[in-house]
């Protein structure tokens, strides 16, 4: 017996193996390799982020794919890195600055502030990288990238310049989504619509040419009333025809504004009349453009009222001002009523406050290669899984809006545009900037600053983080204009694994960028993971505090336990409910495997008997039905796994591995062959059994390796399946099955024998339990009408069933009331002196008879149905007939026995 502890202790083992893999350069990809390439780029986590369960799921899947690909003989590149995450990172540093030094970023100035962010990044950055290592991720760390590396930054600028010169990027004054907390524009994707309980205010504006006559208007935003420049009605709305072209008084500041007609107005909604505030609503802005209306901005960037003409509102927070404006209307007798109203309000994804539509000067991108990108998914060049996400992708691609790519932040890639100082004022306020301005020489757009830098001022804005992320698959592999061996070998990448929440942010954009800048799709397969929820079905979030720390999980259950537990409940489609119990199961599974190996080690080394049986030729010849059965099941497992990997069915793979080891190998096979390892066993039996165990265990460890890399590596070494100095993770999966040289018929015969013994053992244990002798191992069993081959396996049956002795006796006359079971190997009696209870046995048998009768009736009814006979496939009919025969035989036997009881 080995000195190994009884329970597996993962912590030290996991750390040891990760270090060994790094030392052995096992994760490093070789572009010069002859092997076919397999590549994944990691979805770069936020550089200052910390690992959450979403990362664990996502990266475990990638690691499984990468490790499996290595086993399949591929040259694997899993390229890691981190994202600078503009808003999130800047916000963190600003918060720290505010809390510790009571300073804002403007107090420090751009240069000093950026220095602080870099310091912060050095200090807190890469925590997540070490956490990914703890999880066992086999990334090629020698190629780690950061989206603000110099070379990467050059890519971002290059892309901007190219697209600008192509006319795809332009600057313009538009309504954008403004975050009043982060003080920057956001893209449409960064706005989250949330249902809100709001109020709908009904108010009335007096007609200038008809005092006492009013036009009724409804709005949810009375606080922007000062920015009203018109009232719009639908031209098809007969109620308002007479007003169109006239003017009404805006209450404050008191001024006449026109009543206009515009198709956009919904006749059904509210009063049917809409106040037009072009500065604070996207639709209003467009109506304003159509009708040539002025724009009056009445909000500060921080979303406070900016309207000195109305002193009692000026300077107020927008929501305070809303109530105040309503009160003011009421005072003036212009408020008709207020209704409760449910609507959707856009929130800033990062800051969590309602965004404010705001006019501002921003840079926009017209997406390139839209058609190619849409087609690539539609025609299957890029496979999206689960497939239904392809529809979401297609829908978005069909409704693309220009992308607002500028951000009023400092942390990020600064826009590579310079303005001539002497023309700065004019350029700053120009309604639009594009190629024409570039050609005139007033602006400079380039990767490098203009030569006479002093005469120029650089655009202050930075780019949306996703404007760097969308280049990730190729910008990580080669510098601008380079054709590196890495790019050549590993681009396009094979699989992308990410969450469906960033299908627009990232996936779709990468596809477009791939086509535009590399002339090729960036990846062939996209696998969208499930969203992790808690047991109540709520989204995991820091604020809810329902997000367990993966590091805690790893401390408790091991990285392998966490990986396996999580993958085992990872569904193919919908959300995943995280249940810590499952991680415990993962740990238990690791422990089970570990103990199965300890058991094998107790068997010691294999000493071949003098007959000189060679492993290869002797194995099948000497094997019994249990050996053959487990080898066949192992082969089946390997085939099933290959298919499941092909379909990205990770939960099913985990389930099959679990079931094989626990049920098939430990519960059945090991129990069946335990006798072979006892001192009483023949040397031949011992050798065969140990060999079969080794064959199964070594192959199983390899199949399990992608899911539990550390443990399988450890056990493979300890068991001697992998030589010291070599790695299981580098061993290729053999293509041949472990079982060979047996005809399908012979295999079926052997497997049926094994199944019959297992089933019989189950029946007997059941019988023992029913008669309350489950714990006794000395009971005697008698088999009547035994199948011919039972004799050779009766020892095993006794072992499995927990019987002291099994007698084969075809003439056995059971005492009345002897418990009996009908099994695939014959009638088995459990003669128990003093325990036999005729009445109880009668009841049990009557119950069993009733059960079979029911089955018989059902089957007979089916066969009596002419349509069934006529239309069902022959094999189904045959199956049914066979069942009837079986039921009848059993019923006859049981009735006879019941009669025997008297």
Partner RNA sequence: GCGCGCUUAGCUCAGUGGUAGAGCACAUCCUUCACACGGAUGGGGUCGCAGGUUCGAAACCUGCAGCGCGCACCA
Residues 60-119 that bind RNA (CB under 7 A): none
Query: Would you say 618 or 651 has its CB closer to RNA?
Result: 651
Answer for which of 323, 777, 816, 895 binds RNA (CB under 7 A) is 777
SS3 state of residue 347 = strand
Binding of RNA by 227 (CB under 7 A): no
- Work out how close the CB of 283 gets to RNA at its nearest, in angstroms, rounded to a whole number: 4
Interacting positions 747-766 with RNA (CB under 7 A): 762, 765-766
Binding of RNA by 579 (CB under 7 A): yes
- Work out how close the CB of 571 gets to RNA at its nearest, in angstroms, rounded to a whole number: 3
* SS3 track for 729-743: HHCCCCCCCCCCCCC
Q: Across the beta sheet with 780-784, what order do the strands follow? A: 805-808, 780-784, 826-829, 820-823
Query: Would you say 479 or 671 has its CB closer to RNA?
Result: 671
- Work out how close the CB of 636 gets to RNA at its nearest, in angstroms, rounded to a whole number: 16
Stretch that binds RNA, among 4-12, 131-139, 312-320, 822-830 (CB under 7 A): 4-12
- Work out how close the CB of 200 gets to RNA at its nearest, in angstroms, rounded to a whole number: 7
Number of residues forming the site for RNA (CB under 7 A): 92
Query: Would you say 659 or 791 has its CB closer to RNA?
Result: 659
Query: Would you say 283 or 808 has its CB closer to RNA?
Result: 283
Residue pair 229/296 in contact by the 8 Å Cβ criterion: yes
Answer for which of 187, 348, 486, 591 binds RNA (CB under 7 A) is 591
SS3 state of residue 784 = strand
> DSSP secondary-structure letter at 491?
-
What DSSP string describes 159-226? HHHHHHHTT-EEEEEEEEEEETTTTEEE-GGGEEEEEEEEEEEEEEEEBTTSTT-EEEEEES-GGGGG
**What tokens appear for 484 in the block?**
């590196």
Closest CA to 705 of 724, 731, 726, 723: 731
- Work out how close the CB of 450 gets to RNA at its nearest, in angstroms, rounded to a whole number: 38
Answer for which of 858, 889, 892, 895 binds RNA (CB under 7 A) is 858
Binding of RNA by 202 (CB under 7 A): no
Residue pair 404/363 in contact by the 8 Å Cβ criterion: yes
Query: Would you say 150 or 864 has its CB closer to RNA?
Result: 864
Using alpha carbons only, give the angle 67, 715, 758 rounded to the nearest 5 degrees: 100
- Work out how close the CB of 847 gets to RNA at its nearest, in angstroms, rounded to a whole number: 10
Stretch that binds RNA, among 42-50, 121-129, 212-220, 327-335 (CB under 7 A): 212-220
Stretch that binds RNA, among 48-56, 123-131, 574-582, 894-902 (CB under 7 A): 574-582
Query: Would you say 269 or 319 has its CB closer to RNA?
Result: 269
Interacting positions 374-393 with RNA (CB under 7 A): 388, 391-392
- Work out how close the CB of 268 gets to RNA at its nearest, in angstroms, rounded to a whole number: 6
Interacting positions 859-898 with RNA (CB under 7 A): 862, 865, 867-868, 871-873, 876, 879, 883
- Work out how close the CB of 596 gets to RNA at its nearest, in angstroms, rounded to a whole number: 4
Interacting positions 306-365 with RNA (CB under 7 A): 343-344
Stretch that binds RNA, among 308-316, 323-331, 423-431, 583-591 (CB under 7 A): 583-591
What DSSP string describes 52-87? -HHHHHHHHHHHHHHHHHHHTT-EEEEE-EEB--HH
- Work out how close the CB of 574 gets to RNA at its nearest, in angstroms, rounded to a whole number: 4
What DSSP string describes 595-616? HHHHHHHHT-S----TT---HH
Binding of RNA by 671 (CB under 7 A): yes
Q: Which region, left, alpha or beta, applies to residue 812 given φ > 0 means left and ψ of -120 to 50 means alpha?
A: beta
Answer for which of 50, 244, 749, 774 binds RNA (CB under 7 A) is 774
Interacting positions 250-269 with RNA (CB under 7 A): 264-266, 268-269
What's the rounded Cα separation, in Å, for the pair 694 and 309?
A: 88
What's the rounded Cα separation, in Å, for the pair 642 and 734?
A: 12
What DSSP string describes 545-572? T----HHHHHHHHHHHHHHHHHHHT--S
Binding of RNA by 667 (CB under 7 A): yes
What's the rounded Cα separation, in Å, for the pair 165 and 183?
A: 29
Binding of RNA by 596 (CB under 7 A): yes
Binding of RNA by 404 (CB under 7 A): no
Stretch that binds RNA, among 204-212, 367-375, 579-587, 780-788 (CB under 7 A): 579-587
Residue pair 814/829 in contact by the 8 Å Cβ criterion: yes
What's the rounded Cα separation, in Å, for the pair 295 and 289?
A: 9
What's the rounded Cα separation, in Å, for the pair 237 and 529?
A: 49
Answer for which of 239, 428, 539, 881 binds RNA (CB under 7 A) is 539
Interacting positions 486-505 with RNA (CB under 7 A): 501, 504
Rg (CA), the chain: 37
Answer for which of 141, 249, 396, 812 binds RNA (CB under 7 A) is 396
- Work out how close the CB of 71 gets to RNA at its nearest, in angstroms, rounded to a whole number: 24
Query: Would you say 29 or 764 has its CB closer to RNA?
Result: 764
Residue pair 159/367 in contact by the 8 Å Cβ criterion: no
Interacting positions 282-301 with RNA (CB under 7 A): 282-283
Query: Would you say 353 or 436 has its CB closer to RNA?
Result: 353
Q: Peptide bond before 11: cis, by omega within 30 degrees of 0? A: no
Binding of RNA by 692 (CB under 7 A): no
- Work out how close the CB of 817 gets to RNA at its nearest, in angstroms, rounded to a whole number: 20
Interacting positions 118-177 with RNA (CB under 7 A): none
What DSSP string describes 380-442? TSSEEESTTHHHHHHHHHHT---EE-EES-SSSPBP-EEEEGGGHHHHHH-SEE-HHHHHTTS
Label residue 605 exposed, middle or buried (CB < 10 Å: 0-12, 13-18, 19+): exposed
Binding of RNA by 660 (CB under 7 A): no
Torsions phi, psi of 725, nearest 5? 90, -15
Stretch that binds RNA, among 6-14, 45-53, 291-299, 832-840 (CB under 7 A): 6-14
Binding of RNA by 846 (CB under 7 A): no
* Max Cα distance, the chain (Å): 120
């Amino acid at each position: 017996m080995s000195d190994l502890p009884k329970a597996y202790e993962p912590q030290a083992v996991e750390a040891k193996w990760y270090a060994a893999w790094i030392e052995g350069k096992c994760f490093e990809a070789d572009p010069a390799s002859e092997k076919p390439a397999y590549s994944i780029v990691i979805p770069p986590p936020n550089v200052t982020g910390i690992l959450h369960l979403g990362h664990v799921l996502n990266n475990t899947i990638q690691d499984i794919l990468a490790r499996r690909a290595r086993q399949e003989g591929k040259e694997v590149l899993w390229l890691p890195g981190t994202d600078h995450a503009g808003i999130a990172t800047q916000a963190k540093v600003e918060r720290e600055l505010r809390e510790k030094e009571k300073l804002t970023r403007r107090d420090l100035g751009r240069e000093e502030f950026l220095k602080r962010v870099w310091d912060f990044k050095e200090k807190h950055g890469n925590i997540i990288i070490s956490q990914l290592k703890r999880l066992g991720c086999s990334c090629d760390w020698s190629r780690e990238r950061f989206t603000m590396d110099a070379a990467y930054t050059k890519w971002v600028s290059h892309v901007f310049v190219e697209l600008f010169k192509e006319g795809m990027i332009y600057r313009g004054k538009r309504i954008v989504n403004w975050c009043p907390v982060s003080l920057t524009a956001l893209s449409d994707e960064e706005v989250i619509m949330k249902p809100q309980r709001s109020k709908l205010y009904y108010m009335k504006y007096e007609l200038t040419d008809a005092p006492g006559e009013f036009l009724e208007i409804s709005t949810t935003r009375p606080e922007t009333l000062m920015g009203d420049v018109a009232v719009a009605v639908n031209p098809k709305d007969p109620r308002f025809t007479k007003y169109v072209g006239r003017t009404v008084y805006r209450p404050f500041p008191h001024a006449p504004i026109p009543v206009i007609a515009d198709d956009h107005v919904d006749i059904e909604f509210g009063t049917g009349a809409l106040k037009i505030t072009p500065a604070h609503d996207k639709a209003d802005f467009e109506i304003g453009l159509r009708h040539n209306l002025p724009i009056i901005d009445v909000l500060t960037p921080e979303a406070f009222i900016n309207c000195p003409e109305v002193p009692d509102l000026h300077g107020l927070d927008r929501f305070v001002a809303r109530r105040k404006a309503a009160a003011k209307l009421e005072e003036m007798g212009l408020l008709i009523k207020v209704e409760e109203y449910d609507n959707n309000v856009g929130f800033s994804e990062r800051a969590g406050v309602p965004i404010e539509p705001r006019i501002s000067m921003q840079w926009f991108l017209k997406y390139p290669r839209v058609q190619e990108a849409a087609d690539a998914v539609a025609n299957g060049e890029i496979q999206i899984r689960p497939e239904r996400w392809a529809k979401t992708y297609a829908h978005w691609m069909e409704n693309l809006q220009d992308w607002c790519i500028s951000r009023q932040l400092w942390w990020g890639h600064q826009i590579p545009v310079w303005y001539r100082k002497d023309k700065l004022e004019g350029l700053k306020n120009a309604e639009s900037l594009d190629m024409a301005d570039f050609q005139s020489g007033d602006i400079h757009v380039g990767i490098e600053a203009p030569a006479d830098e002093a005469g120029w001022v650089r655009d202050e804005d930075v780019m949306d983080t996703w404007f760097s992320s969308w280049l990730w698959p190729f910008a990580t592999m080669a510098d601008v204009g380079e054709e590196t061996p890495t790019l050549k070998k590993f681009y396009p990448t094979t699989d992308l694994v990410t969450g469906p929440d960033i299908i627009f942010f990232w996936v779709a954009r990468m596809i477009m960028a791939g086509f535009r800048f590399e002339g090729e799709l960036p990846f062939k397969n996209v696998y969208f993971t499930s969203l992790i929820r808690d047991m109540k079905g709520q989204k995991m979030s820091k604020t809810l505090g329902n997000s367990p720390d993966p590091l805690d999980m790893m401390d408790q259950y091991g990285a392998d336990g966490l990986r396996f537990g999580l993958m085992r409940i990872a569904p193919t489609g919908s959300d995943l409910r995280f249940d810590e119990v499952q991680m415990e199961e993962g740990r238990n599974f690791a422990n089970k495997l570990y103990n199965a190996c300890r058991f094998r080690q107790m068997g010691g080394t294999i000493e071949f008997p003098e007959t000189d049986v060679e492993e290869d030729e002797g194995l099948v010849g000497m094997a019994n039905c249990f050996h053959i059965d487990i080898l066949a099941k192992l082969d089946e497992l390997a085939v099933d796994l290959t298919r499941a990997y092909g379909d990205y069915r990770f939960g099913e793979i985990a389930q099959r591995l679990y079931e094989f080891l626990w049920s098939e190998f430990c519960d059945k096979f090991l129990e069946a062959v335990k006798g072979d390892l006892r001192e009483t066993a023949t040397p031949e039996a011992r050798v065969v059994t140990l060999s079969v165990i080794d064959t199964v265990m070594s192959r199983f460890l390899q199949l399990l390796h992608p899911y539990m890399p550390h443990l399988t590596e450890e056990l493979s070494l300890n068991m001697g399946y992998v030589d010291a100095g070599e790695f299981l993770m580098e061993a290729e999966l053999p293509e041949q099955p472990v079982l060979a040289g047996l005809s399908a018929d012979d295999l079926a015969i052997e497997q049926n024998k094994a199944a019959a013994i297992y089933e019989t053992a189950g029946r007997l244990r059941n019988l023992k339990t029913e008669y309350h002798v489950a714990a006794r191992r000395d009971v005697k069993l008698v088999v009547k009408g035994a199948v011919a081959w039972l004799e050779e396996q009766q020892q095993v049956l006794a072992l499995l069933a927990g019987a002291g002795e099994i007698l084969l006796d075809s003439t056995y006359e059971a005492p009345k009331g002897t418990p009996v079971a009908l099994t695939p190997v014959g009638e088995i009696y459990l003669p128990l002196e003093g325990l036999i209870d005729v009445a109880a046995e009668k009841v049990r048998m009557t119950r069993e008879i009733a059960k079979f009768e029911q089955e018989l009736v059902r089957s007979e009814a089916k066969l009596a149905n002419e349509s069934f006979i006529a239309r069902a496939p022959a094999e189904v009919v045959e199956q049914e007939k066979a069942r009837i025969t079986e039921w009848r035989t059993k019923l006859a036997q049981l009735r006879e026995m019941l009669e025997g009881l008297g």
